[in-house]
Amino acid sequence: MAKLTYEDKKEIIRLYDEEHLGYILIARKMKVTDKVVEKIIRKFHMHGEDALKKKKNRDFSADLKLEIIKRVLNGESKSSVAIEYNIEPSQIRLWLKKYNENGYNGLINKPKKGRPPTMNKEKKVIDPNNKDALLKAKDERILELEAEVEALKKLKALVLQRNKQQIKKKQ
């Protein structure tokens, strides 16, 4: 079974609302389970057409996660709560696991790991006929490159020094 496209989901809604077909007949026609059909229809009727579209990564506050978890712990089903908040039940299971391991602190959004995005430097448009401006821009670029070379030399020296220390410790 392939993932359902937006158009497939719209077709499921059309079959249900306009042709009044049941979950099982729609499921056979679309080659999915009746539970998938039911979930799509319930989400659509609760949240509208936006529920059919693929969502980008959304951030939920720790308080909202806690509210959802408390509802599930009080006996509501993960699927019904997930449909109400237009999220996947697997997301609720993940939050429950984090909550059981670390309590409220496990629900707090952590900063993304990895390299931060680079800042886009505004490129100055230089008139090719203005030799003074061209020379100034080239001088600035040379200074930037020289600073980069110096930083790399220092880094290389530090790495060599650390390697020597590690070799001494092993001996």
Tens of pLDDT, residues 46-102: 888 877 777 777 788 888 999 999 999 999 988 888 888 888 888 999 999 999 998
pTM to 2 decimals?
0.50
Confidence at residue 1, expressed as pLDDT on a 0 to 100 scale: 47
Confidence at residue 68, expressed as pLDDT on a 0 to 100 scale: 92
Confidence at residue 59, expressed as pLDDT on a 0 to 100 scale: 80
Confidence at residue 143, expressed as pLDDT on a 0 to 100 scale: 92
Distance CA 168, CA 89 (A): 54
Distance CA 92, CA 3 (A): 21
What token pair was written down for 19? 């042709």
Distance CA 109, CA 153 (A): 38
* Local confidence band at 123 (pLDDT 50, 70, 90 cut-offs): low
What token pair was written down for 169? 């410790």
* Local confidence band at 149 (pLDDT 50, 70, 90 cut-offs): very high
Taking each helix axis as running N to C, give the angle between helix 34-47 and helix 6-17, from 0 to 180 degrees, rounded to the nearest 10.
Answer: 90
Instruction: Please give the mean pLDDT across all residues of the chain.
Output: 85
* Local confidence band at 153 (pLDDT 50, 70, 90 cut-offs): very high
Distance CA 110, CA 19 (A): 47
Neighbouring CB atoms inside 10 A of 68's CB total: 24
Distance CA 93, CA 66 (A): 12
Cα distances (angstroms) measured from residue 25 to each of 52, 81, 95: 20, 26, 34
Q: Which of 26, 35, 34 is nearest to 8 (CA)?
A: 26
Question: For residue 87, what are the contacts with CB-CB under 8 A and spacing of at least 6?
Answer: 60
